[in-house]
């Protein structure tokens, strides 16, 4: 017996079209105007949007080592609630994902307890200390899909160049957290209007852009696929745009919070507005929107970075950087970028499905007959307030509390298995 998702709307060349979808086993077996076949479970998706499960190439699941912040079980449950079926997890765990054993542990846990598919990223350097390259061949063999020292920048140009050479020989993208430590020196927010007003140490834009520029040159020299993490400055966007025009293999991701907020929007010294890179200026935010629009920035990721309430309660200077994002990403983007007319629904969905799949050469991100039944069903009508108490994530650290949003995922399917289902999506039973 399969499942028929009936009467939902799918995106076809930018238009919403009503279709029935038959899911059998782990795959989509048929998409048609109407599927009347008897003997299947029927789920009524009337009026709902049906999209491929979202792919998030930048998530912190925190396990092993930081289970008070998040676990593979809670982080992937959070993903499922947000309509994500595939998440790439960053290696800044304890231990760092720098050995095949840790890769295997994560894959095993994800298989046993996960509500989303987990793709581990391996570290570039041992313990992310920037001193010695990891055994990338062994990491790849164990299942990593890319390498990254996310959480810190690779300070040495020589180390980064060597990393690119090895990664390229193995076909692994180099995913870079771009941050020059010598320019950061204890900053906690963007160096700009907010830092000045509150007398806080700022993080200048060049701290990021310098690495982007350096790494583009290194990618050009080595032929590496270089991917810029959480891009946040106008200068970084310009550098990526120019590099793409010259044919360098560079791709980039941006987070919803950088697209929707700037430092002027921070109401006060609240650690829920503290993340790395920080919320930049109004001009930077405009450059990110433009970069996403024109394809300079390829994809949207959350950089879901849960921390405990105790950690985030230490004040803006002492609290760790990071905010959660999986459960609010699509509603934020839909309400603030699609309903406002700045982006089309197709543009936003593509940057969360098809594009990350293409960039990282993954076989998911499309809703097609014969493909994996990774599906998100989304209610575009009901407005709800963001309430962190309802999150499946252990993290409550979000600046979006109380925002009134539409576009909430109500059902998520991973390889044909329902991994999140809002009450309103209860099955009507088998069709006779």
Ligand X SMILES: NC(=O)N[C@@H](CC(=O)O)C(=O)O
Residue ranges in 216-235 that form contacts with Zn ion under rule CB under 5 A: 229
Pick from ligand X, Zn ion, none: which does 321 bind, CB < 5 to 8 A by kind?
Answer: ligand X
List, in sequence order, every residue forming a beta bridge with 291; answer none if it has no partner. none
The label of the residue with tokens 């560079």 reads 250
Is residue 40 annotated as involved in ligand binding?
no
Site string for ligand X, 103-142 (x = CB under 6 A): ----------------------------------------
Cβ-count burial of 236 within 10 angstroms (0-12 exposed, 13-18 middle, 19+ buried)?
buried
Phi, psi dihedral angles at 93 (to 5 degrees) = -100, -175
- 7 annotated binding-site participant: no
d(CA 402, CA 400) in angstroms, rounded, equals 6
303 touches Zn ion by CB under 5 A:
yes
Q: Is 307 in the site for Zn ion (CB under 5 A)?
A: no
- Shortest CA distance to 174 belongs to which of 195, 153, 203? 153
Nearer to ligand X, 95 or 320 (CB): 320
Burial profile 133-166: b = 16 or more Cβ within 10 angstroms, e = fewer: bbebeebbebebbbbbbbbbbbbeeebbbbbbbb
From the list Zn ion, ligand X, none, pick the one residue 191 interacts with, judged by a Cβ distance below 5 to 8 Å according to partner type: none
Q: How far apart are the first and last CA of the chain?
A: 12
Residue 346 and residue 356: Cα distance in Å, rounded? 14
Residue placing its CB nearer to ligand X in the complex, 177 or 336: 177
354 binds, among ligand X, Zn ion, none (CB under 5 to 8 A by kind): none
**Interaction of residue 398 with ligand X, rule CB under 6 A:** no
Q: Provide DSSP, 262-311.
A: -GGG--SS-GGG--SSPP--HHHHHHHHHHHHHTSS-EE---B----HHH
The nearest distance, CB 184 to ligand X, in angstroms, is 12
Q: Tell me: does residue 177 bind ligand X (CB under 6 A).
A: yes
Rounded CA Rg of the chain: 21
For residues 320 and 23, give the distance between their C-alpha atoms in angstroms, rounded to a whole number: 43
Residue choice 72, 136, 305, 359 for contact with ligand X (CB under 6 A)? 305
Measured CA to CA, the distance from residue 226 to residue 208 in angstroms comes to 15
For the chain, give the number of residues: 432
* 303 has catalytic annotation: yes
Residue 403 touches which of ligand X, Zn ion, none (CB < 5 to 8 A by kind)?
none
CA distances (Å), origin 357, targets 280, 338, 366: 28, 22, 9
70 lines the binding site for Zn ion (CB under 5 A)? no
Binding window for Zn ion (CB under 5 A); candidates: 142-150, 235-243, 352-360, 419-427: 142-150
> With binding defined as CB under 5 A, does residue 150 bind Zn ion?
yes
Q: Which of 303, 311, 327, 350 binds ligand X (CB under 6 A)?
A: 303
> Does 150 participate in binding ligand X (rule CB under 6 A)?
yes
275, 324, 419, 425: residue in contact with ligand X (rule CB under 6 A): 275
CB of 307 to ligand X, least distance (A): 7
CB of 60 to Zn ion, least distance (A): 6
Of residues 20, 98, 263, 303, which has the active-site annotation?
303
User: Which of 276, 328, 353, 397 is close enough to bind ligand X by CB under 6 A?
Assistant: 276
304 is in an annotated binding site: no
Nearer to Zn ion, 150 or 298 (CB): 150
Asked if residue 321 belongs to a known ligand binding site, the reply is: yes
**234-245 vs 206-222: helix crossing angle, rounded to 10:** 20
Q: Does 151 bind ligand X (CB under 6 A)?
A: yes
* Active site residue ranges: 303
Where along the sequence are the contacts to ligand X (CB under 6 A)?
60, 92, 150-151, 177, 275-276, 303, 305, 320-322
């Amino acid at each position: 017996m399969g499942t028929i998702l009936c009467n939902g709307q799918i995106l076809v060349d930018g238009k919403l079209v009503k279709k029935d979808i038959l899911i059998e086993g782990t795959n989509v077996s048929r998409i048609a105007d109407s599927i009347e076949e008897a003997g299947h479970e029927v789920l009524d998706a009337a009026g709902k949007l049906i999209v491929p499960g979202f792919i998030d190439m930048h998530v912190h699941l925190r396990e092993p080592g930081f289970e008070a912040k998040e676990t593979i079980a809670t982080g992937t449950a959070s993903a499922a609630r947000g309509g994500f079926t595939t998440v790439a997890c960053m290696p800044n765990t304890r231990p760092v994902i720098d050995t095949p054993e840790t890769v295997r542990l994560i894959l095993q846990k994800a298989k046993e307890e996960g509500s989303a598919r987990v793709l581990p990223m391996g570290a570039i350097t041992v313990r992310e200390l920037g001193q010695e390259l990891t055994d990338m061949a062994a990491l790849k063999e164990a299942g990593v899909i890319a390498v990254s020292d996310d959480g810190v920048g690779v300070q040495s140009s020589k180390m980064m160049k060597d990393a690119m050479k090895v990664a390229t020989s193995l076909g692994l993208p180099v995913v870079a957290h771009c941050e020059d430590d010598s320019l950061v020196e204890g900053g906690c927010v963007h160096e700009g209007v907010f830092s000045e007003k509150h007398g806080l140490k700022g993080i200048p834009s060049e701290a990021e852009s310098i690495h982007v520029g350096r790494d583009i040159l290194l990618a050009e020299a080595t032929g590496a696929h270089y991917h810029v993490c959480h891009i946040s400055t106008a200068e970084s966007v310009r550098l990526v745009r120019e590099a793409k025009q010259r044919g360098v293999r560079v791709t980039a991701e941006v987070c919803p919070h950088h697209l929707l907020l700037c430092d002027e929007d921070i109401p006060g010294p609240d650690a829920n507005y503290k993340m790395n890179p920080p919320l930049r200026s109004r001009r930077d935010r405009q450059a990110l929107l433009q970069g996403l629009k024109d394809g300079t920035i390829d994809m949207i990721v959350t950089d879901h970075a849960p921390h405990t309430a105790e950690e985030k309660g230490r004040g803006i200077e002492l609290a760790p950087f990071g905010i959660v994002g999986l459960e609010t990403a699509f509603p934020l983007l839909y309400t603030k970028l699609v309903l406002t007319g700045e982006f089309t629904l197709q543009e936003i969905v593509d940057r969360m499905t098809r594009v990350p799949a293409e960039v990282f050469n993954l076989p998911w991100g499309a809703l097609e007959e014969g493909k994996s039944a990774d599906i998100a069903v989304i209610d575009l009508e009901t407005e709800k307030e963001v309430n962190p108490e309802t999150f499946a994530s252990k993290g409550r650290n979000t600046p979006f509390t109380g925002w009134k949003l539409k576009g909430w995922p109500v059902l998520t399917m991973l390889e044909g298995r329902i991994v999140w289902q809002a009450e309103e999506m209860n099955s009507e039973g088998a069709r006779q």
